[in-house]
Amino acid sequence: MLSASDFRNGKTFEYEGKLMQVVEFQHVKPGKGAAFVRTKMKNIVTGAVTETSFNPTAKFEEAFIERKDVEYSYNDGDLYYFMDLETYDMTPLGKDTLPENFKFIKENDPCTLLSYKGKVFSVSIPNFVELEVTKTEPGVRGDTATNVTKPAEVETGAEIKVPLFINEGDRIQIDTRTGEYMSRVK
């Protein structure tokens, strides 16, 4: 059991049947009245952030998130299959379990399955990936006075904004957290 006075940033616990993670906390001891713990917490499954105050003696079930390194294999309709790197077992997941930035992942890319009590609730992907540009318009010469970008499609089918000097066939690095172009890869 975990009490509210034990809260630290990153601690995970169960609250009202939901899996929560402490984002920020503050122990408050007012001049009058009892002490309390002001907590900003994030629902790990939905990403919703809420603020709540707890009595320091309030008890919660501590949640241990299991992380398993896997490799994305393929998708078949709405099911996406991930291979365990140790046992070679395949784990199928529905599209609703995948994060929005999964569009930057191609087959055989490493991922991490996040599960709680044996149930997978999300997939963690690398922060940076290298992809090939499959479709983009040629840049217009002389239009470089400002930081001008153009749309480009990468090999996974995702569309991002890239600088004018990027051409079809170029390999680029993308930040999957923001979906932004980072650099060209040689």
| Tens of pLDDT, residues 36-77 | 999 999 988 787 899 999 999 999 998 888 989 999 999 888
Do 47 and 18 lie in one domain? The reply is yes
Tokens of 58: 């309030």
Distance CA 8, CA 85 (A): 32
- Whether 89 and 116 map to the same domain: the answer is yes
- Which residues have C-beta within 8 Å of that of residue 34, sequence separation ≥ 6? 55
Are residues 7 and 58 located together in one domain of the fold? yes
Q: Indicate if 52 and 70 belong to the same structural domain.
A: no
Phi-psi category of residue 46: left, alpha or beta, with phi > 0 → left and psi -120 to 50 → alpha: alpha
**CATH assignment of the domain containing 175:** 2.40.50.140
Q: What domain range is 154 assigned to?
A: 128-185
Q: What is the pLDDT of residues 99-113, one digit of tens each?
A: 888 999 999 999 999
**Per-residue pLDDT at 112:** 92
Q: How confident is the model at residue 143 (pLDDT cuts 50, 70, 90)?
A: low
Which CATH number covers residue 52? 2.30.30.30
89, 105, 124 - which closes a domain: 124
- CA 81 remoteness from chain centre: 18
Domain boundary among 106, 124, 142: 124
163 shares a domain with 114: no
CB atoms within 10 A of CB 147: 7
Distance in Å from the first CA to the final CA of the chain: 52
Claim: this prediction has a pTM higher than 0.85? no
What pLDDT score was predicted for residue 99? Answer: 84
Q: How many domains does the chain have?
A: 3
> 95 φ, ψ to 5°?
-60, -30
72 CB-near residues (< 8 Å, 6+ apart): 80, 81, 82, 105, 106, 107, 108, 109, 110, 111
The whole-angstrom separation of Cα 100 and Cα 85 is 24
Whether 40 and 22 map to the same domain: the answer is yes
Task: For residues 57 and 101, state if they share a domain.
Answer: no
Confidence class for position 140, pLDDT limits 50, 70, 90: low
Q: Work out the mean pLDDT of the chain and round it to a whole number.
A: 88
Length of the chain in terms of residues written: 186
Do 143 and 171 reside in the same domain of the chain? Answer: yes
Same domain, 70 and 58: no
- Chosen domain end from 77, 98, 124: 124
Q: Who has greater pLDDT, 82 or 118? A: 82
Whether pLDDT at 121 is above 70: yes
